[in-house]
C-alpha cells in the first residue's frame, strides 16, 4: 500500500485552520461539545476526500501544538486524543 504524504502549505490548508479556529473561538465553550464541533466542520467536507483527510490531520496537529485543548470542547467532550474518531 502506497503512503500518502499530506502537506500543510497551501491556501486551502490555511482556510481549514481558519475554519477550525473560528469555530473554536466563537463557541460557547461551556456547552460546546466535540461532537457538535465535528458536525459543524464535517458538513463542509465529504468523508474520505482530501479535504476530510487534511481536516483530521490539522486537528491532530493543532492538538499536538497545544492550540486546541480539552477545555475547548467542554466537560462532555471526553478524551481529546481521540479527536480523529469524531471528525
Q: What pLDDT, in 10s, does the model give residues 20-77?
A: 777 767 765 444 555 566 666 667 666 667 777 777 677 767 766 777 655 544 444 4
Average pLDDT estimate for 5-11: 67
The grid coordinates of residue 16 equal 481549514
CB atoms within 10 A of CB 70: 15
- For residue 11, pLDDT over 80 is answered with yes
Residue 11 sits at the vertex; the CA angle it makes with 67 and 50, to the nearest 5 degrees, is 85
Task: Enter the DSSP assignment of 86.
Answer: H
Rounded Cα distance, 23 and 13, in Å: 16
pTM equals: 0.44
Stated as kind and residue range, the H or E segment containing 55 is helix 50-64
Amino acid at each position: 500500500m502506497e503512503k500518502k504524504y499530506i502537506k500543510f502549505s497551501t491556501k486551502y490548508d490555511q482556510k481549514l485552520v481558519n475554519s477550525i479556529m473560528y469555530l473554536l473561538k466563537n463557541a460557547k465553550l461551556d456547552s460546546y461539545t466535540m461532537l457538535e464541533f465535528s458536525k459543524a466542520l464535517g458538513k463542509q467536507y465529504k468523508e474520505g476526500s482530501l479535504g476530510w483527510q487534511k481536516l483530521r490531520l490539522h486537528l491532530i496537529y493543532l492538538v499536538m501544538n497545544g492550540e486546541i485543548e480539552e477545555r475547548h470542547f467542554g466537560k462532555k467532550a471526553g478524551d481529546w486524543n481521540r479527536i480523529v474518531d469524531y471528525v
